[in-house]
Amino acid sequence: MDKTFENTKKLNWRGLICEYGEFLPVTPGARVITLGEGATPLVHAPHLSQIKGADVYLKFEGANPTGSFKDRGMTLAITKAVEAGSSAVVCASTGNTSASAAAYAAKAGLACIVLIPAGYIALGKLAQALIYGAKVVQIRGNFDRALEIVRELGDSKPVTVVNSINPYRIEGQKTGAFEVVDQLGDAPDYHFIPVGNAGNITAYWRGYNEYLKAGISTRLPRMMGVQAAGAAPIVLGHPVVNPDTVATAIRIGNPASWSGALGAKDESGGEIFAVSDEEILSAYRLLARYESIFCEPASAASVAGLLKTPVDPGSSVVCVLTGNGLKDPDTAISQIEVPTAVDADLDAISAALGL
Ligand code: F0G
């Protein structure tokens, strides 16, 4: 067992590879690189449940070690890179993949290179990649261009690509679906999820199918993928050359797992549709104010999607909240009026409070 968890047996959680190893391509005896990811809360959402006349739950992936769902895939991708004898990993990222890759690479003692679109990555994510010690290259170009270059680097240099074109990423991420079933007792009727590069919707659909096949669940959810209107290639049916949205995490115009997303939608009888930036920000504020969950804007896209979609009365709904709101303080601050400073005395404070 990883040293970190030797003294936490009471909590009985050893990270995804140990907990779900029988469903993952893990080599017995391999060195496992984990930060204790997974076991994220599935929070019941009374306000949303009332609005929708359904039973709504929020899977808060911002509770993972680096604050996003990316840790699920990264524990496996980095474990496999170590097993293969790799000494360096590389990824393109809108921020969360780079934060996660940097953390797990540091844990494993691997070098980490990340390519990010200059000016379009939330401050907290940039801070994470840097403080974990990654070599960060900010490119004058968007995520899609960064991923093209990363593919070329993977083909021509001795580096392991840890974007979701690396199959271990999607394998690890499917554990999100396992946890939803383990927490709810069965699969929900609807599963709402933000779609950017489309790896996560592909992974959840695989996870739900594997649990059904294993007899752990009895049914499959309808997969409801949500894109930002300014970055909605799958909805439009063609790549978007200049994607644009306040939800920078899903500012992607040519998703790598496009066919996986379509497969999930078609096989589950679900939908992939778009929400506007205004709808995303409205859901983002609602989640913090009424459900006490501070997620990042891209994550709120799943709830924005739920809010505009009719669901069957009394049905069960899971929305994945993919990342932590603390990653993007600028957007949070832009949504509220920040109070000005007052003198540190009772009268001034009472006056400011209108008391
Ligand atoms: N939500 C957040 C917070 C994300 O960071 C991402 C993707 C998604 C949703 C979409 O997931 O790509 O599997 O469809 N972020 C990637 C990154 C692209 O580089 O961090 P997807």
Q: Is the CB of 197 under 6 A from ligand 1?
A: yes
Query: Does the C-beta of 202 come closer than 6 Å to ligand 1?
Result: no
The CA 20 to ligand 1 mean position distance, Å, reads 22
The preferred substitution site among 40, 66, 139, 197 for testing ligand 1, maximizing ligand atoms within 8 Å of CB, is 197
68 in ligand 1 pocket by Cβ < 6 Å?
yes
Residue of 322, 327, 331 to test ligand 1 pocket, by largest number of atoms within 8 Å of CB: 322
Asked whether 150 and 93 are in contact (CB, 8 A), the reply is: no
Strands 42-44, 55-60: pairing kind: antiparallel
- Sort 335 into a burial class: Cβ within 10 Å, 0-12 / 13-18 / 19+: middle
The whole-angstrom separation of Cα 71 and Cα 156 is: 26
Q: For residues 203 and 177, give the distance between their C-alpha atoms in angstroms, rounded to a whole number.
A: 8
Q: Among the atoms of ligand 1, which is closest to the Cα of residue 194?
A: 9
Residue 242 pLDDT: 97
Place of tokens 């699969």: 187
**Residues 117/73/328/201 CA torsion (nearest 10 deg):** 90
pTM of the predicted model, to two decimals?
0.96
pLDDT for 11 equals: 74
The pLDDT of residue 7 is: 53
pLDDT digits (tens, 9 = 90+) for 131-189: 999 999 999 999 999 999 999 999 999 999 999 999 999 999 999 999 999 999 999 99
Ligand 1 centroid to residue 122 C-alpha, Å:
13
Give me ligand 1 centre to Cα 249, in Å. 5
Nearest CA to ligand 1 atom 11: 196
- Residue with CA at minimum distance from ligand 1 atom 7: 249
Residue nearest atom 10 of ligand 1, based on CA coordinates: 196
- What pLDDT, on the 0 to 100 scale, is given for residue 352? 94
Instruction: Give the pLDDT of residue 9.
Output: 56
pLDDT averaged per 10 residues in sequence order, the chain, 355 residues: 55 93 96 98 98 98 98 98 98 98 98 97 97 98 98 97 97 98 97 98 98 98 98 98 98 98 98 98 98 98 98 98 98 93 97 95
Q: Which atom of ligand 1 is nearest the CA belonging to 100?
A: 20
